[in-house]
Protein backbone atom coordinates (compact mmCIF):
# COMPACT_ATOMS: atom_id res chain seq x y z
CA UNK A 1 0.00 0.00 0.00
CA UNK A 2 1.13 3.55 -0.71
CA UNK A 3 0.53 6.67 1.40
CA UNK A 4 -1.97 8.08 -1.11
CA UNK A 5 -4.30 5.18 -0.23
CA UNK A 6 -4.33 5.88 3.52
CA UNK A 7 -7.70 5.83 5.27
CA UNK A 8 -8.67 7.03 8.77
CA UNK A 9 -9.67 3.61 10.07
CA UNK A 10 -6.19 2.30 9.44
CA UNK A 11 -4.98 4.23 12.49
CA UNK A 12 -7.40 2.53 14.88
CA UNK A 13 -4.56 0.61 16.50
CA UNK A 14 -2.74 3.79 17.54
CA UNK A 15 -2.87 5.01 21.16
CA UNK A 16 -5.56 7.73 21.68
CA UNK A 17 -3.50 10.90 21.35
CA UNK A 18 -1.44 9.48 18.51
CA UNK A 19 -4.59 8.48 16.65
CA UNK A 20 -6.02 11.97 17.02
CA UNK A 21 -2.78 13.49 15.77
CA UNK A 22 -2.63 11.10 12.81
CA UNK A 23 -6.18 11.87 11.76
CA UNK A 24 -5.51 15.61 12.02
CA UNK A 25 -2.67 15.27 9.57
CA UNK A 26 -3.96 12.42 7.39
CA UNK A 27 -4.09 14.65 4.32
CA UNK A 28 -0.43 15.52 4.83
CA UNK A 29 0.55 11.86 5.17
CA UNK A 30 -1.22 11.03 1.91
CA UNK A 31 1.09 13.42 0.05
CA UNK A 32 4.37 12.01 1.36
CA UNK A 33 6.58 9.34 -0.28
CA UNK A 34 6.73 5.89 1.29
CA UNK A 35 10.50 6.15 1.67
CA UNK A 36 9.86 8.96 4.16
CA UNK A 37 6.47 8.56 5.81
CA UNK A 38 7.11 5.55 8.11
CA UNK A 39 10.00 7.47 9.67
CA UNK A 40 7.49 10.15 10.59
CA UNK A 41 4.87 7.63 11.75
CA UNK A 42 7.48 6.15 14.06
CA UNK A 43 7.28 9.41 15.98
CA UNK A 44 3.52 9.75 15.66
CA UNK A 45 2.65 6.27 16.94
CA UNK A 46 4.57 6.92 20.18
CA UNK A 47 3.14 10.42 20.64
CA UNK A 48 1.33 9.47 23.87
CA UNK A 49 4.66 8.47 25.42
CA UNK A 50 6.80 11.32 24.16
CA UNK A 51 8.40 14.08 26.24
CA UNK A 52 7.02 17.61 25.88
CA UNK A 53 10.00 18.75 23.82
CA UNK A 54 9.50 15.89 21.39
CA UNK A 55 5.79 16.55 21.07
CA UNK A 56 6.41 20.17 20.31
CA UNK A 57 9.04 19.37 17.71
CA UNK A 58 6.77 16.84 16.01
CA UNK A 59 3.79 19.19 16.00
CA UNK A 60 5.90 21.93 14.42
CA UNK A 61 7.20 19.54 11.79
CA UNK A 62 3.70 18.37 10.89
CA UNK A 63 2.40 21.92 10.74
CA UNK A 64 5.27 22.92 8.48
CA UNK A 65 4.53 20.03 6.13
CA UNK A 66 0.86 21.00 6.05
CA UNK A 67 1.76 24.55 5.10
CA UNK A 68 3.74 23.52 2.01
CA UNK A 69 2.19 24.06 -1.40
CA UNK A 70 2.17 21.19 -3.87
CA UNK A 71 5.26 22.46 -5.75
CA UNK A 72 7.07 23.08 -2.45
CA UNK A 73 6.25 19.60 -1.22
CA UNK A 74 7.47 18.12 -4.47
CA UNK A 75 10.72 20.04 -4.13
CA UNK A 76 11.21 19.05 -0.48
CA UNK A 77 10.71 15.35 -1.19
CA UNK A 78 12.20 15.01 -4.65
CA UNK A 79 15.21 13.04 -3.35
CA UNK A 80 13.04 10.75 -1.24
CA UNK A 81 10.74 10.14 -4.19
CA UNK A 82 13.75 8.93 -6.16
CA UNK A 83 14.42 6.10 -3.69
CA UNK A 84 13.35 2.80 -5.24
CA UNK A 85 11.45 0.52 -2.87
CA UNK A 86 10.60 -3.14 -3.26
CA UNK A 87 7.11 -4.59 -3.61
CA UNK A 88 7.77 -6.41 -0.33
CA UNK A 89 8.28 -3.09 1.44
CA UNK A 90 5.14 -1.67 -0.14
CA UNK A 91 3.16 -4.63 1.16
CA UNK A 92 4.56 -4.29 4.67
CA UNK A 93 2.22 -3.05 7.44
CA UNK A 94 4.14 0.20 7.78
CA UNK A 95 1.17 1.97 9.38
CA UNK A 96 1.12 -0.18 12.50
CA UNK A 97 4.76 -1.24 12.54
CA UNK A 98 6.70 1.77 11.28
CA UNK A 99 9.84 0.98 13.28
CA UNK A 100 10.07 -2.50 11.84
CA UNK A 101 9.49 -1.04 8.38
CA UNK A 102 12.34 1.42 8.89
CA UNK A 103 14.62 -1.42 9.91
CA UNK A 104 13.75 -3.31 6.73
CA UNK A 105 14.08 -0.14 4.72
CA UNK A 106 17.57 0.30 6.11
CA UNK A 107 18.51 -3.20 5.02
CA UNK A 108 17.00 -2.53 1.57
CA UNK A 109 18.96 0.72 1.21
CA UNK A 110 22.25 -1.00 2.05
CA UNK A 111 21.52 -3.89 -0.29
CA UNK A 112 20.50 -1.73 -3.23
CA UNK A 113 23.31 0.79 -2.72
CA UNK A 114 20.83 3.59 -2.09
CA UNK A 115 22.04 4.44 1.40
CA UNK A 116 24.05 7.45 0.26
CA UNK A 117 21.06 8.76 -1.70
CA UNK A 118 18.87 8.32 1.36
CA UNK A 119 21.40 10.07 3.59
CA UNK A 120 21.48 12.97 1.15
CA UNK A 121 17.69 13.14 1.07
CA UNK A 122 17.46 13.01 4.86
CA UNK A 123 20.14 15.64 5.34
CA UNK A 124 18.51 18.02 2.86
CA UNK A 125 15.14 17.52 4.52
CA UNK A 126 16.60 18.21 7.97
CA UNK A 127 18.29 21.36 6.64
CA UNK A 128 15.03 22.65 5.14
CA UNK A 129 13.13 21.88 8.30
CA UNK A 130 15.76 23.60 10.41
CA UNK A 131 15.32 26.77 8.37
CA UNK A 132 11.52 26.57 8.42
CA UNK A 133 11.15 25.72 12.10
CA UNK A 134 13.32 27.82 14.34
CA UNK A 135 13.88 25.99 17.63
CA UNK A 136 12.92 27.74 20.85
CA UNK A 137 15.93 28.81 22.90
CA UNK A 138 16.13 27.23 26.36
CA UNK A 139 14.77 29.35 29.22
CA UNK A 140 18.07 28.82 31.05
CA UNK A 141 21.49 28.15 29.61
CA UNK A 142 21.76 24.38 29.54
CA UNK A 143 23.99 22.79 32.17
CA UNK A 144 25.49 19.33 31.70
CA UNK A 145 27.51 17.63 34.42
CA UNK A 146 29.41 14.36 34.12
CA UNK A 147 30.83 12.70 37.22
CA UNK A 148 33.30 9.94 36.42
CA UNK A 149 35.67 7.58 38.22
CA UNK A 150 33.60 6.31 41.12
CA UNK A 151 35.70 3.81 43.09
CA UNK A 152 39.04 4.79 41.56
CA UNK A 153 41.77 6.02 43.90
CA UNK A 154 44.60 6.64 41.47
CA UNK A 155 45.04 6.48 37.75
CA UNK A 156 47.95 6.74 35.33
CA UNK A 157 46.38 7.85 32.07
CA UNK A 158 45.56 11.56 31.77
CA UNK A 159 41.85 12.31 32.05
CA UNK A 160 39.57 14.58 30.00
CA UNK A 161 41.96 14.70 27.04
CA UNK A 162 39.12 15.26 24.59
CA UNK A 163 37.30 17.83 26.71
CA UNK A 164 40.26 19.92 27.83
CA UNK A 165 40.68 21.78 24.52
CA UNK A 166 37.06 22.95 24.84
CA UNK A 167 37.42 24.64 28.22
CA UNK A 168 39.50 25.10 31.37
CA UNK A 169 41.13 22.18 33.16
CA UNK A 170 41.26 22.49 36.95
CA UNK A 171 43.57 20.44 39.14
CA UNK A 172 42.83 21.99 42.52
CA UNK A 173 39.18 21.18 43.07
CA UNK A 174 38.18 20.64 46.69
CA UNK A 175 36.03 17.53 46.44
CA UNK A 176 34.29 17.64 49.83
CA UNK A 177 30.52 17.17 49.52
CA UNK A 178 30.97 17.57 45.78
CA UNK A 179 28.11 15.31 44.73
CA UNK A 180 25.71 16.91 47.15
CA UNK A 181 26.67 20.37 45.87
CA UNK A 182 25.98 19.28 42.31
CA UNK A 183 22.58 17.77 43.14
CA UNK A 184 21.72 20.94 45.07
CA UNK A 185 22.47 22.95 41.93
CA UNK A 186 20.12 20.73 39.92
CA UNK A 187 17.41 21.14 42.56
CA UNK A 188 17.86 24.90 42.56
CA UNK A 189 17.55 25.07 38.77
CA UNK A 190 14.49 22.82 38.87
CA UNK A 191 12.93 25.26 41.30
CA UNK A 192 13.69 28.30 39.18
CA UNK A 193 12.51 26.68 35.92
CA UNK A 194 9.86 24.14 36.98
CA UNK A 195 9.20 22.52 33.60
CA UNK A 196 8.36 18.83 33.21
CA UNK A 197 11.28 16.55 32.37
CA UNK A 198 13.63 19.54 32.22
CA UNK A 199 16.05 18.55 34.99
CA UNK A 200 17.60 15.08 35.03
CA UNK A 201 19.84 12.93 37.16
CA UNK A 202 21.12 9.70 35.61
CA UNK A 203 23.14 7.33 37.78
CA UNK A 204 25.06 4.33 36.48
CA UNK A 205 24.70 2.76 39.92
CA UNK A 206 22.48 3.50 42.90
CA UNK A 207 20.90 6.96 42.75
CA UNK A 208 21.56 9.32 45.65
CA UNK A 209 18.80 11.14 47.44
CA UNK A 210 17.57 14.01 45.27
CA UNK A 211 14.78 16.57 44.97
CA UNK A 212 11.45 15.24 43.73
CA UNK A 213 11.32 17.74 40.89
CA UNK A 214 14.30 16.00 39.28
CA UNK A 215 13.67 13.24 36.75
CA UNK A 216 15.85 10.33 37.82
CA UNK A 217 16.93 7.17 36.01
CA UNK A 218 19.35 4.71 37.58
CA UNK A 219 20.93 1.43 36.54
CA UNK A 220 20.33 -0.06 39.98
CA UNK A 221 16.67 0.83 39.97
CA UNK A 222 16.23 -0.97 36.66
CA UNK A 223 17.78 -4.19 37.92
CA UNK A 224 14.44 -6.09 37.98
CA UNK A 225 13.58 -4.85 34.49
CA UNK A 226 17.00 -5.86 33.18
CA UNK A 227 16.66 -9.31 34.70
CA UNK A 228 13.19 -9.69 33.17
CA UNK A 229 14.49 -8.60 29.78
CA UNK A 230 17.43 -11.00 29.84
CA UNK A 231 15.15 -13.87 30.81
CA UNK A 232 12.89 -12.98 27.90
CA UNK A 233 15.82 -12.76 25.50
CA UNK A 234 17.06 -16.18 26.57
CA UNK A 235 13.63 -17.63 25.99
CA UNK A 236 13.38 -16.05 22.53
CA UNK A 237 16.84 -17.10 21.36
CA UNK A 238 16.19 -20.74 22.16
CA UNK A 239 13.03 -20.82 20.05
CA UNK A 240 13.19 -22.59 16.70
CA UNK A 241 13.81 -20.18 13.86
CA UNK A 242 14.95 -17.42 16.18
CA UNK A 243 17.25 -14.91 14.55
CA UNK A 244 18.45 -11.38 15.04
CA UNK A 245 15.54 -9.85 13.13
CA UNK A 246 12.90 -11.80 15.05
CA UNK A 247 14.53 -10.91 18.34
CA UNK A 248 14.68 -7.22 17.47
CA UNK A 249 10.99 -7.29 16.56
CA UNK A 250 10.10 -8.84 19.91
CA UNK A 251 12.19 -6.27 21.77
CA UNK A 252 10.72 -3.38 19.78
CA UNK A 253 7.23 -4.45 20.82
CA UNK A 254 7.97 -4.62 24.55
CA UNK A 255 5.96 -2.40 26.85
CA UNK A 256 6.69 -1.38 30.45
CA UNK A 257 4.33 -4.02 31.83
CA UNK A 258 6.33 -6.73 30.01
CA UNK A 259 9.36 -5.83 32.12
CA UNK A 260 7.52 -5.53 35.40
CA UNK A 261 6.96 -1.78 35.57
CA UNK A 262 4.09 -0.69 37.80
CA UNK A 263 1.19 0.45 35.62
CA UNK A 264 0.53 3.37 37.95
CA UNK A 265 3.97 4.83 37.27
CA UNK A 266 5.05 7.67 35.00
CA UNK A 267 4.15 6.15 31.63
CA UNK A 268 6.34 8.54 29.63
CA UNK A 269 9.42 7.88 31.74
CA UNK A 270 8.70 4.15 31.90
CA UNK A 271 8.52 3.92 28.10
CA UNK A 272 11.78 5.86 27.91
CA UNK A 273 13.44 3.41 30.29
CA UNK A 274 12.15 0.39 28.39
CA UNK A 275 13.60 1.80 25.18
CA UNK A 276 16.96 2.35 26.89
CA UNK A 277 17.09 -1.37 27.57
CA UNK A 278 15.53 -2.70 24.37
CA UNK A 279 17.12 -0.32 21.84
CA UNK A 280 20.45 0.41 23.51
CA UNK A 281 23.43 -1.82 22.78
CA UNK A 282 25.26 -2.97 25.90
CA UNK A 283 22.88 -1.09 28.19
CA UNK A 284 21.57 -4.36 29.61
CA UNK A 285 24.99 -5.52 30.81
CA UNK A 286 27.39 -2.58 31.25
CA UNK A 287 26.44 0.30 33.54
CA UNK A 288 28.81 2.67 31.74
CA UNK A 289 27.12 1.95 28.40
CA UNK A 290 23.77 2.43 30.10
CA UNK A 291 24.70 5.82 31.59
CA UNK A 292 26.13 7.12 28.30
CA UNK A 293 23.20 5.93 26.20
CA UNK A 294 20.64 7.17 28.72
CA UNK A 295 22.27 10.61 28.63
CA UNK A 296 22.34 10.63 24.84
CA UNK A 297 18.69 9.70 24.60
CA UNK A 298 17.61 12.10 27.35
CA UNK A 299 19.39 14.95 25.57
CA UNK A 300 18.08 14.00 22.13
CA UNK A 301 14.52 13.42 23.23
CA UNK A 302 13.73 15.46 26.37
CA UNK A 303 16.21 18.29 25.67
CA UNK A 304 16.73 18.90 29.40
CA UNK A 305 17.90 22.20 30.82
CA UNK A 306 19.98 20.36 33.40
CA UNK A 307 21.53 16.91 33.20
CA UNK A 308 23.78 15.27 35.78
CA UNK A 309 25.24 11.91 34.80
CA UNK A 310 27.15 9.96 37.39
CA UNK A 311 29.01 7.00 35.96
CA UNK A 312 29.56 3.96 38.17
CA UNK A 313 31.86 0.95 37.84
CA UNK A 314 30.58 -1.60 35.35
CA UNK A 315 30.98 -5.31 35.77
CA UNK A 316 34.14 -6.92 34.48
CA UNK A 317 33.76 -8.28 30.99
CA UNK A 318 32.39 -11.79 31.16
CA UNK A 319 31.28 -14.21 28.47
CA UNK A 320 28.09 -13.06 26.86
CA UNK A 321 26.14 -16.20 27.70
CA UNK A 322 27.07 -15.72 31.37
CA UNK A 323 26.26 -12.03 31.24
CA UNK A 324 22.88 -12.80 29.78
CA UNK A 325 21.99 -15.19 32.57
CA UNK A 326 20.58 -13.54 35.67
CA UNK A 327 22.75 -14.57 38.59
CA UNK A 328 22.62 -14.04 42.31
CA UNK A 329 26.41 -13.90 42.50
CA UNK A 330 27.67 -10.34 43.00
CA UNK A 331 29.29 -9.09 39.80
CA UNK A 332 33.01 -8.41 39.90
CA UNK A 333 33.64 -4.77 39.01
CA UNK A 334 36.17 -3.07 36.75
CA UNK A 335 36.68 0.47 38.11
CA UNK A 336 39.71 1.31 35.94
CA UNK A 337 38.11 0.20 32.72
CA UNK A 338 34.96 2.05 33.76
CA UNK A 339 36.96 5.23 34.25
CA UNK A 340 38.14 5.04 30.64
CA UNK A 341 34.59 4.30 29.46
CA UNK A 342 33.19 7.20 31.47
CA UNK A 343 35.86 9.63 30.30
CA UNK A 344 34.75 8.96 26.72
CA UNK A 345 31.11 9.00 27.84
CA UNK A 346 31.55 12.47 29.32
CA UNK A 347 32.92 13.67 25.99
CA UNK A 348 29.89 12.23 24.20
CA UNK A 349 27.58 13.90 26.72
CA UNK A 350 29.14 17.23 25.84
CA UNK A 351 28.88 16.58 22.08
CA UNK A 352 25.22 15.62 22.41
CA UNK A 353 24.46 18.67 24.55
CA UNK A 354 26.07 20.90 21.93
CA UNK A 355 23.63 19.57 19.31
CA UNK A 356 20.73 21.24 21.13
CA UNK A 357 19.40 24.79 20.69
CA UNK A 358 21.23 27.41 22.73
CA UNK A 359 24.55 25.59 22.52
CA UNK A 360 26.45 28.87 22.30
CA UNK A 361 25.48 29.57 25.93
CA UNK A 362 25.61 26.03 27.27
CA UNK A 363 27.68 25.04 30.28
CA UNK A 364 29.38 21.70 30.85
CA UNK A 365 31.31 20.36 33.81
CA UNK A 366 33.15 17.05 34.01
CA UNK A 367 34.52 16.03 37.40
CA UNK A 368 36.61 13.08 38.61
CA UNK A 369 34.53 12.06 41.61
CA UNK A 370 36.13 12.76 44.98
CA UNK A 371 39.29 14.03 43.28
CA UNK A 372 40.78 17.37 42.34
CA UNK A 373 40.43 17.20 38.56
CA UNK A 374 37.63 18.82 36.57
CA UNK A 375 37.03 20.45 33.21
CA UNK A 376 34.71 23.44 32.91
CA UNK A 377 33.34 24.48 29.53
CA UNK A 378 31.32 27.64 29.09
CA UNK A 379 31.43 30.90 27.14
CA UNK A 380 33.30 32.49 30.06
CA UNK A 381 35.95 29.78 30.35
CA UNK A 382 39.09 30.24 28.24
CA UNK A 383 39.61 27.21 26.05
CA UNK A 384 42.60 24.97 26.46
CA UNK A 385 43.72 26.55 29.73
CA UNK A 386 44.85 24.96 32.99
CA UNK A 387 44.28 26.21 36.53
CA UNK A 388 45.98 24.76 39.58
CA UNK A 389 44.18 27.12 41.97
CA UNK A 390 42.11 25.68 44.79
CA UNK A 391 38.38 25.92 44.17
CA UNK A 392 35.16 24.30 45.33
CA UNK A 393 32.64 22.95 42.86
CA UNK A 394 30.10 25.70 43.70
CA UNK A 395 32.80 28.29 42.99
CA UNK A 396 33.65 26.62 39.74
CA UNK A 397 30.00 26.56 38.68
CA UNK A 398 29.62 30.24 39.57
CA UNK A 399 32.61 31.11 37.35
CA UNK A 400 31.06 29.20 34.46
CA UNK A 401 27.75 31.08 34.58
231 binds another protein (CB under 8 A): no
7 near another protein, judged by CB under 8 A: no
| Beta carbon of residue 135, minimum distance to another protein (angstroms, whole number) | 14
Handedness of CA 288, 147, 292, 283 (dihedral sign): positive
With binding defined as CB under 8 A, does residue 242 bind another protein?
yes
Strand 143-148 and strand 363-368: pairing? parallel
Among residues 16, 71, 319, 382, which is the contact residue for another protein, using CB under 8 A? Answer: 319
Nearest-10 crossing angle of helices 223-237, 267-279: 50
For another protein, the closer of residues 35 and 283 by Cβ is: 283
Binding window for another protein (CB under 8 A); candidates: 57-65, 138-146, 180-188, 318-326: 318-326
Q: Does 142 sit near another protein (CB under 8 A)? A: no
Q: Return left, alpha or beta for 370; rule: phi > 0 is left, psi -120 to 50 is alpha, else beta.
A: left
C-beta of 396: minimal distance to another protein in Å?
Answer: 26
User: What's the CA gap between 229 and 216, in Å, rounded?
Assistant: 21
Task: Rule CB under 8 A: choose which of 5, 9, 116, 262 binds another protein.
Answer: 116
Instruction: Check: CB of residue 188 under 8 Å from CB of residue 308.
Output: no
Q: Does 324 bind another protein (CB under 8 A)?
A: yes
**Other CB atoms within 10 A of residue 46 CB:** 19
Angstrom distance (rounded) from CA 171 to CA 391: 9
We find the least distance from the C-beta atom of residue 26 to another protein, in angstroms, to be: 28
Separation CA 194–CA 200 (nearest Å): 12
C-alpha 74/C-alpha 237 separation (Å) is: 45
Minimum CB–partner distance for residue 314 and another protein (Å): 7
253-312 residues in contact with another protein (CB under 8 A) are 280-283, 285-286, 288-289, 292-293, 296
Based on CB atoms, which residue is closest to another protein, 246 or 401?
Answer: 246
Q: Does position 351 bind another protein by CB under 8 A?
A: yes
Task: Quote the least distance from Cβ 237 to another protein, whole Å.
Answer: 5
CB 283 within 8 A of CB 177: no
Measured in whole angstroms, the distance separating CA 322 from the mean position of its chain's CA atoms is: 27
Q: Find the largest Cα–Cα distance for the chain.
A: 68
337 binds another protein (CB under 8 A): yes
Select the residue interacting with another protein from 321, 329, 330, 382 (CB under 8 A). Answer: 321
Q: Which of 10, 266, 344, 372 is in the footprint of another protein by CB under 8 A?
A: 344
Nearest distance, CB of residue 7 and another protein, angstroms: 32
**Contact by Cβ (8 Å): 248, 229:** no
| Residue 79 binds to another protein (criterion: CB under 8 A) | no
Q: Does 130 bind another protein (CB under 8 A)?
A: no
Contact 234, 325 (CB under 8 A): yes
Nearest distance, CB of residue 95 and another protein, angstroms: 24
Q: Please choose, out of 54-62, 78-86, 344-352, 372-380, the segment that lies near another protein by the rule CB under 8 A.
A: 344-352
Residues touching another protein, count (CB under 8 A): 48
| DSSP three-state, residue 378 | coil
Of 385, 350, 384, residue with least CA distance to 367: 350
Pick 16 or 244: Cβ nearer another protein: 244
Bridging pattern class, strands 374-377 and 363-368: antiparallel
Q: Look up residue 138 and give its DSSP letter.
A: P
- Could you tell me the smallest distance in angstroms from the CB atom of residue 282 to another protein? 4
Contact 351, 162 (CB under 8 A): no
Q: Which residues inside 93-112 make contact with another protein, applying CB under 8 A? A: 110-112
Residues that bind another protein (CB under 8 A): 110-113, 115-116, 119, 161, 233, 237, 242-245, 247, 280-283, 285-286, 288-289, 292-293, 296, 314, 317-322, 324, 334, 336-341, 343-345, 347-348, 351, 355
Amino acid sequence: MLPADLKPEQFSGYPPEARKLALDYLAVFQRLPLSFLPNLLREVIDYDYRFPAERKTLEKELETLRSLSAPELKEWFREFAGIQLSAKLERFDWINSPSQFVEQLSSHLWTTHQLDAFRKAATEYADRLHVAVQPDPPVLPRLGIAVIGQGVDTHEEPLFRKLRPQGAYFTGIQPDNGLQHLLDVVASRAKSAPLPYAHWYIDGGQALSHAQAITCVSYKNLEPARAALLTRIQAETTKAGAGPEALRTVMAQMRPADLGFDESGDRVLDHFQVKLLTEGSGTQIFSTSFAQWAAREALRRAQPLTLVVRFAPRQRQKPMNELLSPSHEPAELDPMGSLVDADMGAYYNWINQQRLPGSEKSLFLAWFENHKEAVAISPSMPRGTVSTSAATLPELLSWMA
